[in-house]
Amino acid sequence: MKGKCKLKGRLENQVYSSRVQRSEFDSNWKTCLSKSGYVKYVATKDKAKVEVLLDNGQRKLLIFNKGGKIMVGGGGTSHYSKPHFAKVI
């Protein structure tokens, strides 16, 4: 990520998860459908936020810079572009 992040958490590389039950996006995202059928979310501003609820009850706050991407497949698998910041909340 550009600059220093003051939040405590960790900087993550590209990851995927099949444990996401629900995601809430702030207003800094646009949504489109990819040719392969994935729903693609693209961050329109720096510090775009997503709160995810995992199947074990854990909640995470994910923060992306402008251009960051999240792809969600029909089976619920989510792919997160790198880098992004993750914090357990």
In a domain, 6, yes or no: no
Q: What is the pLDDT of residues 4-42, one digit of tens each?
A: 545 567 777 777 788 889 999 999 999 999 998 999 999
In a domain, 71, yes or no: yes
In a domain, 44, yes or no: yes
In a domain, 5, yes or no: no
Which residue range forms the structural domain that includes residue 41? 11-88
What local confidence, expressed as pLDDT, does residue 74 receive?
Answer: 79
- The reported pTM is 0.83
In a domain, 4, yes or no: no
- Alpha-carbon span 48 to 32, nearest angstrom: 16
Look at the chain and report how many structural domains it folds into. Answer: 1
Q: How far is Cα of residue 43 from the mean position of the Cα atoms in its chain?
A: 9
As a whole number, the mean pLDDT across the chain is 88
Lowest mean pLDDT among 3-12, 30-39, 51-60, 64-73: 3-12
Residue from 32, 87, 83 nearest 58 by CA: 87
Let me know: does 21 contact 54? Beta carbons within 8 Å: yes
- Alpha-carbon span 10 to 29, nearest angstrom: 22
In a domain, 25, yes or no: yes
Q: Which two tokens stand for residue 30?
A: 């646009």
In a domain, 2, yes or no: no
